[in-house]
Amino acid sequence: MTKGKNKSKSKNKTHKRGKAVGYERYIYKVMKEVNPKLEISSKSMVILNNFMQDMAEKIVETSKSLLKYAGRATLTSMDMHRAVKMELPGQLAKHAMSEGAKAVVRFATHEQADKSKKN
């Protein structure tokens, strides 16, 4: 008998939920960028943090549904683009998609730089 993980695959997979992501730091940074004189109460910060977590979860669930509908297992930037467009209203969706596109470009640039360093 060997010690270790059972490697049999079952259809009823259970996933542990990771530690909840906190957006407080980012909310505060954006708030100070918009107006350095603004302040926020701890209760308001909790509400905004919960809102951000809910929106992120909605976008993830929508992207999972899109993947399932398409019969694919790999998430692409276009899948996220579609999920954001479905979940966020008008101008907010456009801004989010623009920032997402910038993040993908930054990621690709860093990946390319890492590959050239290895060669």
Instruction: Round to whole Å and give the CA distance between 86 and 82.
Output: 6
- 54 in any annotated domain: yes
Tally of structural domains, the chain: 1
With a cut of 90, say whether residue 2 has pLDDT above it: no
Q: What is the pTM of this model?
A: 0.70
Out of 3-17, 20-34, 66-80, 98-112, least confident range:
3-17
Residue 90 lies in domain? 24-118
Does 115 or 9 have the greater pLDDT score? 115
- 114 in any annotated domain: yes
Q: Are 53 and 26 in contact (CB under 8 A)?
A: no
Q: pLDDT digits over 98-116, tens only?
A: 998 999 899 989 888 877 8
Instruction: Round to whole Å and give the CA distance between 5 and 22.
Output: 31
Q: pLDDT digits over 39-50, tens only?
A: 999 999 999 999
Q: Are 66 and 83 in contact (CB under 8 A)?
A: yes
- 94 in any annotated domain: yes
* Per-residue model confidence (pLDDT) at position 116: 80
- 18 in any annotated domain: no
* Per-residue model confidence (pLDDT) at position 114: 79
Does 30 or 118 have the greater pLDDT score? 30
Out of 17-21, 76-80, 112-116, least confident range:
17-21
Q: What is the CATH number of the domain that holds 55?
A: 1.10.20.10
Token pair 């009823």 is found at 12
Instruction: Round to whole Å and give the CA distance between 66 and 10.
Output: 23
- 15 in any annotated domain: no
- 68 in any annotated domain: yes
Q: Exposure of 83 by Cβ count < 10 A (0-12 exposed, 13-18 middle, 19+ buried)? A: buried
Scanning 1-119, the segments in alpha helix (DSSP H) are 24-34, 42-70, 77-87, 90-118
- 9 in any annotated domain: no
- 29 in any annotated domain: yes
* Per-residue model confidence (pLDDT) at position 117: 78
